[in-house]
Structure 1
Amino acid sequence: MLSSVKNQIQYYADTISTVTGLDVEVVDTSLVRIAGTGTYAAGVGTNIKQAGNLLKTTLKGSEPLFIENPRKNPICEGCQTKSRCKELLSICAPISDGNTTYGAIELICFSPDARERVITQRDVYTNFLLLLANSIADRVREKQELQDIQGLLDVMSEVVNMNDKGTLIFNAQEKVVYNNQRAQEILERTTRSQFENFTVAPTGITFSGQDEYLVEQEDRQQFVIGKKLNLTAATSSFSSVFVFDTLQSAVSHTQQGIDDDTSLNHIIGSSPLVYTLKEQIRATATTNSSVLITGESGTGKELVARAIHATSDRAGAPFIAINCGAIPDTLLESELFGYVGGAFTGALRQGQIGKFELAEGGVLFLDEISSMPLYLQVKLLRVLQERTITRLGATRPISVDIRIIAATNDNIQDLMQHNTFRPDLYYRLNVFPIQTPPLRNRMDDLTLLINHFITKYSSLFGKKPITLPASVMNKMRKYSWPGNIRELENAIEYLVNIAEENGKINEHALYDGFLYSQETVQPSAPASSTRPVIPLKELEKQAINRALELFGNTTQGKRQAASSLGISLATLYRKLDQ
Structure 2
Amino acid sequence: MNNNNQALVSPDLVQALDALDEWLVVVDAQARIVFLNQPYAHFLGLKRDEVYGQPVIEVIENTQMHRVVETGQPELSRLQEVRGRHMIANRYPIRQGGKVVGGIGTVLFHDTHEWRQMNTQIKALVSELDFYRRALDKEQTGARFHLNDLIGRSPQIQKVNEKIKKVAAGDASVLIRGESGTGKELYAHALHLLSERSRGPFIKINCAAIPENLLEAELFGYEEGAFTGAKKGGKQGKFQLADGGTLFLDEIGDMPLSMQAKLLRVLQDREVEAVGSNRLVKVDVRLVTATHQPLEKRVELGEFREDLYYRINVVSVELPPLRERREDIPALAEHFLNRLANRTGRRAPKLTAQALTRMLEYAWPGNVREMENAIESAFYLSQGHKISLQALPAALMEGLEVPEPVVYRGTLKERLAAAEKQILEEALLACDGNRLLAAKLLGISKTSLYDKLAKHLLNIDL
- Give the structure-1-normalised TM-score: 0.45
- The structural deviation recorded for 1:257 is 8.4
Within the candidate set 322, 331, 346, 2:205 is matched to 322
Alpha-carbon distance change, 261 to 449 in structure 1, aligned in 2, over 3 angstroms: farther
1:428 aligns with 311
Write out per-residue CA displacement over residues 347-371 of structure 1, whole angstroms, 9 at most, x where no aligned residue.
2232111000111111000000011
Alpha-carbon distance in 2 for matches of 1:416, 1:514: 35
Given that 1:255 and 1:318 are in contact with CA atoms closer than 8 Å, whether structure 2 keeps it comes out as: no
Write out per-residue CA displacement over residues 362-393 of structure 1, whole angstroms, 9 at most, x where no aligned residue.
10000000111111111111111111101111
Alpha-carbon distance in 2 for matches of 1:294, 1:419: 20
1:465 aligns with 348
Alpha-carbon distance in 2 for matches of 1:258, 1:495: 34
1:306 aligns with 189
Alignment of 1:393-412 (within 5 A): 393-412=276-295
Unaligned runs of 5+ in 1: 1-251, 523-578
Alpha-carbon distance in 2 for matches of 1:451, 1:261: 21
1:270 aligns with 153
**Aligned-residue identity in percent:** 46
1:175 aligns with none
Alpha-carbon distance in 2 for matches of 1:254, 1:447: 29
Alpha-carbon distance change, 516 to 507 in structure 1, aligned in 2, over 3 angstroms: closer
Within the candidate set 495, 503, 528, 2:385 is matched to 503
Q: Please tell me the residue identity of whatever aligns with 1:424.
A: D
Q: Please tell me the residue identity of whatever aligns with 1:425.
A: L
Given that 2:137 and 2:144 are in contact with CA atoms closer than 8 Å, whether structure 1 keeps it comes out as: no
Does residue 348 (structure 1) correspond to residue 231 (structure 2)? The answer is yes
1:281 aligns with 164
2:267 aligns with 384
Given that 1:366 and 1:407 are in contact with CA atoms closer than 8 Å, whether structure 2 keeps it comes out as: yes
Alpha-carbon distance change, 253 to 440 in structure 1, aligned in 2, over 3 angstroms: closer
Write out per-residue CA displacement over residues 152-207 of structure 1, whole angstroms, 9 at most, x where no aligned residue.
xxxxxxxxxxxxxxxxxxxxxxxxxxxxxxxxxxxxxxxxxxxxxxxxxxxxxxxx
Given that 1:390 and 1:396 are in contact with CA atoms closer than 8 Å, whether structure 2 keeps it comes out as: yes
Does residue 515 (structure 1) correspond to residue 396 (structure 2)? The answer is yes
Alpha-carbon distance change, 388 to 516 in structure 1, aligned in 2, over 3 angstroms: farther
- The structural deviation recorded for 1:509 is 5.0
Write out per-residue CA displacement over residues 44-102 of structure 1, whole angstroms, 9 at most, x where no aligned residue.
xxxxxxxxxxxxxxxxxxxxxxxxxxxxxxxxxxxxxxxxxxxxxxxxxxxxxxxxxxx
Q: Secondary structure at the match of 1:339?
A: coil
Unaligned runs of 5+ in 2: 1-134, 403-462
1:337 aligns with 220
- The structural deviation recorded for 1:259 is 6.0
Alpha-carbon distance change, 384 to 516 in structure 1, aligned in 2, over 3 angstroms: farther
Alpha-carbon distance change, 412 to 509 in structure 1, aligned in 2, over 3 angstroms: closer
Q: Secondary structure at the match of 1:497?
A: helix
Given that 2:143 and 2:202 are in contact with CA atoms closer than 8 Å, whether structure 1 keeps it comes out as: no
Alpha-carbon distance change, 254 to 464 in structure 1, aligned in 2, over 3 angstroms: closer
1:487 aligns with 370
Write out per-residue CA displacement over residues 99-119 of structure 1, whole angstroms, 9 at most, x where no aligned residue.
xxxxxxxxxxxxxxxxxxxxx
**Larger relative contact order (C-alpha < 8 A, sep ≥ 6)?**
2
Q: Please tell me the residue identity of whatever aligns with 2:342.
A: S
* Larger gyration radius, structure 1 or structure 2: 1
- The structural deviation recorded for 1:345 is 2.2
Given that 2:177 and 2:319 are in contact with CA atoms closer than 8 Å, whether structure 1 keeps it comes out as: yes
Alpha-carbon distance in 1 for matches of 2:160, 2:317: 8
Q: Please tell me the residue identity of whatever aligns with 2:385.
A: G
